[in-house]
């Protein structure tokens, strides 16, 4: 076992996939595995999500989807960030669905499809007041162009809302029946597409927040990331946090490699900013900012009070857990090591496992992932 590693509970992730599916009627589930599956390890998590019932995978970039294909993951995969011309070549060759927002994207895809004899697959993104690249008023022209080339397959249109807010399409219909405006918007988009395309398209709008707070937003597909990894989005009210999700999907662990007793007045860490006010047992962990440890670790459940909280008028340092007990990190976090004060933990010893609360997306992919089935 490595001295520093991430423990990933694949069984918990699979359970969360099934929990989301239990809330869906006729909607498909896209498991979002961007950002190395929120730090969990993209390939293994993608495989497990598909095995648990997810029909789609979502990534940020074509390059991420290429890694999935190289590992043998063949599930339909959508790359959210619009591609470059070079990425269009790879996407068509490896059956990756790209997001398009301009006529250039269609031209690139059409050219590659003509050269390779393969079908290019794409979905069109329409912005909802987030300021992201969007088809906007060009939606109809894009559909018209796509209709003129049979090797170019537009399979869907989608949008994304900021948290639980759908005000970008909220109107008079919502006064009569909440959610009607979004459903009407989706129906209009699909009707437009039906005029030009040979096959029906899907329309999707909901990520984790909207999935929980607005069941009417599920439509044809939901894109779920945060919930699969055992967290509720911070903007979801407590009354809506009623999905049975397993929280223990990710745990950064390290090992005490040395314990040294130093006298009062000793400085610890670069810059000599921390001074021991008493004789101190200093334990060293082989973990630093090169591995992604933030100078101010945040709790795995995003509790704001795990950031440098105030205690007796002073800022409280970030902590690690040893046998379930909180132990403070002292001194600056170095590139490849940090120090913790174990003076009040007489059972601490070299070789002992330490759990480090942190944001999972911060941890370097180079830190080994150890998977629990």
Q: Is residue 244 part of a domain?
A: no
- For residue range 96-119, what is the model confidence (pLDDT) as tens digits? 999 999 999 999 999 999 999 999
What does the pLDDT read at residue 85? 94
- The fraction of the chain above a pLDDT of 70, given in percent, is 88
Is residue 201 within 8 A of residue 193, CB to CB? The reply is yes
Return the percentage of the chain with pLDDT > 90, whole number: 72
179: confidence class by pLDDT, cuts 50, 70, 90: low
The token duo for 136 is 């906007």
Please report the pLDDT score of residue 312 as a whole number.
36
Structure tokens at 159: 């949008």
What's the domain count of the chain?
2
Same domain, 118 and 153: yes
Pair (324, 356) in one structural domain: yes
How far CA 306 is from CA of 230, 235, 274, 343, in Å, comes to: 17, 18, 20, 21
What DSSP element (H or E) covers 143?
Answer: helix 139-147
Of the two residues 185 and 48, the one the predictor is more confident about is 48
- Going by C-beta distance under 8 Å and a sequence separation of 6 or more, which residues neighbour residue 65? 57, 59, 77, 79, 91, 94, 96
pLDDT of residue 317: 63
| CA distance linking residue 194 with residue 201, whole number of Å | 8
The confidence score (pLDDT) of residue 264 equals 96
Residues 292 and 204 in one domain: no
Range of the domain at 318: 250-372
In a domain, 216, yes or no: yes
> What average pLDDT does the segment 29-43 reach?
97
Residue 205 to residues 127, 132, 133, 363: CA-CA distances in angstroms? 10, 14, 16, 29
245 located within any domain: no
Which among 122, 151, 132, 135 has a CA at the least distance from the CA of 62?
122
Residues 351 and 215 in one domain: no
Mean pLDDT computed over 20-31: 97
Q: What is the CATH number of the domain that holds 115?
A: 3.20.20.10
Tell which residue, 25, 48, 115, has the closest CA to residue 369: 48
Give yes or no: residues 80 and 149 share one domain. Answer: yes
Confidence band (pLDDT; 50, 70, 90) for 164? low
Same domain (yes/no): 135, 200: yes
| Three-class SS state of 223 | strand
> Which pLDDT value is given to residue 335?
92
Per-residue confidence band for 130, with pLDDT thresholds at 50, 70 and 90: low
Does residue 284 share a domain with residue 137? no
Range from 16-25, 121-130, 258-267 carrying the lowest mean pLDDT = 121-130
Q: Let me know whether 155 and 300 are in one domain.
A: no
In this structure, is residue 24 part of a structural domain?
A: yes
In a domain, 61, yes or no: yes
Same domain, 267 and 341: yes
In a domain, 242, yes or no: no
Per-residue pLDDT at 182: 84
What integer pLDDT is reported at residue 169 of this predicted model?
56
Please check whether residues 64 and 200 belong to one and the same domain: yes
Condensed to tens digits (0 to 9), the pLDDT of residues 59-89 reads 999 999 999 999 999 999 999 999 999 999 9
pTM above 0.75, yes or no: yes
pLDDT for 135 equals 79
Alpha-carbon separation of residue 61 from 67, 91, 135, 180, 323 (angstroms): 10, 10, 18, 33, 40
Q: Output the domain CATH number for residue 296.
A: 2.40.37.10
Q: Are residues 197 and 335 in the same domain?
A: no
- Evaluate whether residue 195 is within a structural domain: yes
Q: 57 and 110 share a domain? A: yes
Whole-number pLDDT of residue 95:
97
């Amino acid at each position: 076992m490595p001295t520093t590693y991430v423990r990933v509970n694949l069984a918990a992730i699979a359970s969360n996939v099934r929990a989301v599916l239990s809330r869906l009627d006729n909607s498909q589930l896209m498991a979002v595995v961007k950002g190395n599956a929120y730090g969990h390890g993209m390939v293994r998590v993608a495989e497990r999500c598909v095995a648990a019932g997810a029909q789609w995978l979502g990534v940020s970039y074509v390059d991420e989807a290429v890694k999935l294909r190289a590992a043998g993951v063949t599930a339909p995969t959508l790359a959210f960030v619009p591609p470059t011309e070079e990425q269009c070549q790879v996407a068509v060759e490896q059956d990756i669905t790209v997001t398009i927002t301009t006529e250039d994207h269609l031209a690139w895809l059409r050219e590659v499809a003509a050269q390779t004899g393969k079908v290019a697959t794409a979905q069109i993104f329409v912005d909802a007041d987030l300021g992201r690249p969007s088809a906007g008023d060009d939606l109809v022209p894009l559909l018209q162009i796509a209709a003129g080339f049979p090797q170019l397959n537009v399979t869907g249109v989608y949008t994304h809302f900021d948290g639980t807010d759908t005000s970008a399409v909220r109107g008079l219909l919502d006064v009569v029946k909440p959610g009607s405006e979004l459903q009407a918007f989706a129906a209009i988009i699909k009707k437009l597409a039906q005029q030009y395309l040979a096959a029906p398209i899907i329309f999707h709008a909901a990520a984790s927040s909207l999935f929980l707070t607005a069941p009417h937003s599920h439509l044809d597909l939901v894109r779920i990331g945060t919930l699969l990894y055992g967290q509720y989005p911070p903007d979801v009210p407590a009354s809506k946090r009623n999905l049975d999700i397993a929280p223990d999907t990710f745990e950064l662990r390290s090992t005490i490699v040395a314990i040294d007793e130093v006298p009062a007045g000793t400085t610890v860490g670069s810059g000599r900013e921390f001074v021991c006010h008493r004789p101190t047992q200093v334990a060293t962990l082989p973990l630093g900012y090169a591995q992604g440890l933030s100078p101010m670790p945040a709790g795995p459940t995003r509790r704001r009070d795990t950031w440098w909280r105030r205690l007796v008028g002073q800022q409280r340092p970030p902590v690690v857990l040893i046998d379930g007990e909180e132990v403070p990190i002292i001194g600056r976090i170095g590139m490849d090591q940090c120090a913790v004060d174990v003076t009040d933990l007489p059972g601490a010893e070299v070789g002992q496992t330490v759990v480090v609360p942190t944001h999972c997306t911060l941890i370097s992919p180079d830190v080994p992932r150890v998977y629990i089935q």
